Chain A
């Protein structure tokens, strides 16, 4: 066990991580923030400190809001280590990361994981073709390089982010050839009972209706209740050329230069799985989330999770849960008394509950279609090792009980992405095949290194005093 280097280690500089750093510093904690990106913001506020005024205007006020938070974060006095790839965390909360290809360790009695969300995988035939991307990727391109798809874009799936990206692309001068809406007919009925609660968040509902209005006024064709969606290669081009699908009983085909997929966002649980903390399965969102208490603490004492990495609730909620987790950490290290923490957390909890009101409605309305899991046997599920849904089902027939066994049978989940892209799909296909609950089937066991690192980088750990890290950002 190594000595403590800080009071609090934070992983991730999105809204939750930045907010936690600001709050923890206000309580006098020494804080280090490890973030993979060169600049703060996470994905939602990606490059908000750098984006040109024109791009920031185009992305809208919810994006620009991140600038003020990033400024408070920069002024917070937290030690900031941008470009840091966390690749191992021990049970004693020693965090090992790599910056500039050299590994180093930090350790604190309190660890906050704010590693955010990722897009739900969309395993569809042809989804590995160049030109097929996640919808979030198109938004990241706008934020990081002020660029948009050249030519006709077709969006496939459903959810608030899909609508937002469509509207932002239109505003940026992009061409949208169509939206292939995969939400099943039953979703609306299932969402209806949650509408009264959602009416308690009128601004968010109005924003959603506003986006639908924008798309309607722009004349973007929307194909509802789409099924059997396939991406087709443009002859001999080695890239996507069209999307074909059935919509309301009719077969359709749309020419496309870029296809953008989206079936909601899910917590990125790679780090919490590495730490073996307790996770719960959410049936409505088709994903895992780490179990946390009211102060963000997991089943491992001292280890907290905040933001969309704990539960999908958006950037404003992430800012709140980050602050609450930091207050919990301040109490735990004896810098804040419990009563004071409860008072300080009050306004943040009020914001959390406001932001959460609309979630059951959105979860039901945009629940990914069951056919995404019951996909055709020839659909690639594990993109890295090129394992199909049919092979996963065959493994289940042969007696494979869980995702870790599929690794032995087929290398499924053992490629470069280490199961990030296929984990949820494999768990659900196995659950369906063996007639058990996904919670019983379980998830891939995640091990260090979380991302590939070189032996030279690891060797730097042996002589930590000789490392001169780049200056903290």
Chain B
């Protein structure tokens, strides 16, 4: 859903490998996780706990809490507020956790 302003310049940049629901992708280093997920078109980022509606980032500045994902086993992390790191394990969220494991 997002693309580099200058794709030739983007190819020269250092990258890190992150895993989105187990799929390894290389993304530009030094950026928020949320913009990396937008560039990978990994939408929706989650389904709400209330109605199961699909959601994706709205504000990218830590206010809206729409970009919540699981990062390295921690749920409900604002993906716009953490930077991508080598080996980061990202899982998209599907509703609320239930007793006995994920839905």
Q: In the complex the two chains form, is A421's CB within 8 Å of B54's CB?
A: no
A54 to B6, CA, bound (A): 9
* Contact among B3, B55, B64, B65 for A148, CB-based, below 8 A: B3
With an 8 A cutoff between CB atoms, is A50 at the interface?
yes
Tell me the complex Cα distance, A35–B62, Å.
12
Q: Is the CB of B3 within 8 A of A147?
A: yes
* Cβ–Cβ < 8 Å partners of B1 in chain A: 130-131, 149-151, 239, 257-258
The reply to whether the CB of A211 lies closer than 8 angstroms to some CB of chain B is no
Q: How far is the CB of B80 from chain A (nearest CB, A)?
A: 8
Nearest A residue to B54, CB-CB: A238
Counting CB contacts under 8 A, is A79 at the interface?
Answer: no
Which A residues are in CB contact (< 8 Å) with B38?
141, 147
Residues of B within 8 A of A150 (CB): 1-3
Residue ID in chain B nearest A151 by CB atoms: B1
Where chain B touches its partner, the secondary structure class is: loop
Q: Are B57 and A137 in contact (CB under 8 A)?
A: yes
Name A residues whose Cβ lies closer than 8 Å to a Cβ of B.
Answer: 36, 38, 43, 50, 52, 54-55, 58, 118-119, 128-134, 136-137, 140-142, 144-151, 172-173, 238-239, 257-258, 268, 383-386, 415-417, 420-421, 451-452
Pick 15 A–B contacts, CB within 8 A, sort by A.
A134-B59, A136-B60, A136-B61, A137-B57, A137-B58, A142-B5, A144-B35, A146-B28, A147-B3, A147-B38, A150-B3, A151-B1, A384-B50, A386-B50, A417-B63
Besides the known contacts A137-B61, A142-B5, A147-B4, 11 further A-B residue pairs in the complex with CB atoms under 8 A apart: A36-B81, A50-B30, A54-B5, A128-B53, A130-B56, A131-B43, A136-B59, A141-B60, A145-B31, A147-B35, A149-B1
Q: B residues bordering A, Cβ < 8 Å? A: 1-6, 9-10, 28, 30-32, 35-36, 38-39, 43-45, 48, 50-51, 53-66, 68, 76, 78, 81, 83
